[in-house]
Amino acid sequence: MTRALPVRRLSALRVLVALVLLTHAAAAHADIISFTKRAASEKFDQAVAALGRGDLKQADTLFQQVVESDPLRLYAALGHAQVALSQQRIKDADRAISAVLSQHAEMAEAHNMKGVVLLLQKRQEDARYEFSRAVELQARYVTPRIYLAALARESGRFADASSAYKALTDVAPGLPAGYVGQAEALMMMGKTPEAYTVLDAWKAHARSSVLPYQVLGSLYLANGERAKAVQELKAALVKNPGDAPTLKLLGDAYAASGDFKAAGEQYDAAVAADPKNVEAVIRTGDLKARAGQTDRALEIYRRAIAIDPTNPVACNNVAWLLGDQGQQLDEALRLAQVAAKAGPAYVDAQDTLGWVYYQRGHYSQAVTTLKNAKALDGKRTDVAAHLGLAYAKAGLTQQALAELKRALASTNAVPNRAELERTVASLSR
């Protein structure tokens, strides 16, 4: 009964803000360099170089020295603000950006950064104005266009988001975000064929890249079009035969089609191409577990944990296999706790942790944790079964009967059906 981490659709805006905070230094480096060649100085260049390599403290010191020696060095002031944003010192960034705008109200980069500050302050409409102003001042400025499209997506204005992402691809045809964003917006409007057309167009603009094929293959697979998924992923491998992520995705497509032998071959090839591709390693373990080779599956999952010690899927699966057999429960509890902490919205991890508590005889903790799992996915039959058994051990008869009967009434497969039926009969006396 091994399980895989479910795909979770984070909002485009949240993903974007997170990526901006993580990658601001590199983006700022590109923006600043492109607009300051005419006014470069040795100290300013040193600051930009420090920012580009992620040395925020040194970059900030140098930017401030430039600003102090020449208050009109606006890009140095923005560099200082950039460092503050990277360190999430929002108020400091806001002050620096506002000072720049007071001197140069038509500076597109300053309006864009002001928009980022407002976005982080959850002032979406004000942020939208600043990003729009940046685009008005500099029509081919990509970054504010990404934010505007993401804001439309976040607010549920999918038609506007589609248009904004289309405009982004017109300005920057080599940028993946425009195609992926437009395709997602079209999918949200129920226009799946149009989404496929957009992604096919992306392939034409990125002839040397396998990424469009991977995205299309994943989308076909998610929509149950497995043959088309295989076709796209094989086409990607023609371009790059040893690409581990593509090999892993092709393995997923074969596994979804029930061809586990072919899936295993692709997973093995992915691991051979990149021994640290933890997802491919985990998938290999999944196949062994499915075949009943529990010891081999545990060995492979532990190899995945050695690569990524907090990987929620690998930790969960080891904990589940051990806990379900009532073996090595100390290790099972430790790994289940790691998985639940790493993936708080990962229902399998919560279910596993609850079941390990159950196996250890900690029924109150089992009930609490399994209720969390139920809150994440109230339709899961296995969660209902586990929660019902935990309620029974905790002496909560009516709650136990409700969960156990719900599990038994499901058309889904029920683990240990005979045990559940015996428990219901016993509690009903």
Residue 331, pLDDT score:
96
To the question of domain 1-155 being in CATH 1.25.40.10, the answer is: yes
Report the mean per-residue pLDDT for the chain.
84
Q: How far apart are the first and last CA of the chain?
A: 32
Give the pLDDT mean for 290-300. 95
pLDDT digits (tens, 9 = 90+) for 375-389: 999 999 999 999 999
CATH 1.25.40.10 maps onto the chain at 1-155, 331-429
Amino acid at site 111? H
Which two tokens mark 322?
């051990």
Which two tokens mark 40?
């470069």
Q: Identify the burial level of 106 via C-beta atoms within 10 angstroms of its C-beta, where 0-12 means exposed, 13-18 middle and 19 or more buried.
A: exposed
Q: pTM for the full model?
A: 0.74
- Of the given ranges (54-68, 293-307, 334-348), which has the lowest mean pLDDT? 54-68
Residue 17, pLDDT score:
30
Residue 5, pLDDT score:
32
Q: Alpha-carbon distance 203 to 260, whole Å?
A: 29
Using the predicted structure, report yes or no on whether residue 73 has a pLDDT greater than 70. Answer: no
Compute the half-sphere exposure of residue 325: CA atoms within 13 Å on the CB side of its CA.
15
Q: Alpha-carbon distance 209 to 73, whole Å?
A: 40
The larger pLDDT score, comparing residue 27 to residue 364, is at 364
Q: Identify the burial level of 223 via C-beta atoms within 10 angstroms of its C-beta, where 0-12 means exposed, 13-18 middle and 19 or more buried.
A: middle
Q: Alpha-carbon distance 169 to 308, whole Å?
A: 36
Give the pLDDT mean for 345-360. 95
Give the pLDDT mean for 208-229. 90
Q: Alpha-carbon distance 60 to 64, whole Å?
A: 6
To the question of domain 331-429 being in CATH 3.30.930.10, the answer is: no
Using the predicted structure, report yes or no on whether residue 417 has a pLDDT greater than 60. Answer: yes
Residue 47, pLDDT score:
66
Residue 48, pLDDT score:
64
Neighbours of 294 (CB within 10 A): 16
CA distances from 278 to 217, 265, 274, 301 (A): 20, 16, 9, 9
Query: Cβ(247)–Cβ(280) under 8 Å?
Result: yes
Using the predicted structure, report yes or no on whether residue 40 has a pLDDT greater than 50. Answer: no
Neighbours of 70 (CB within 10 A): 13
Amino acid at site 11? S
Q: Identify the burial level of 320 via C-beta atoms within 10 angstroms of its C-beta, where 0-12 means exposed, 13-18 middle and 19 or more buried.
A: buried
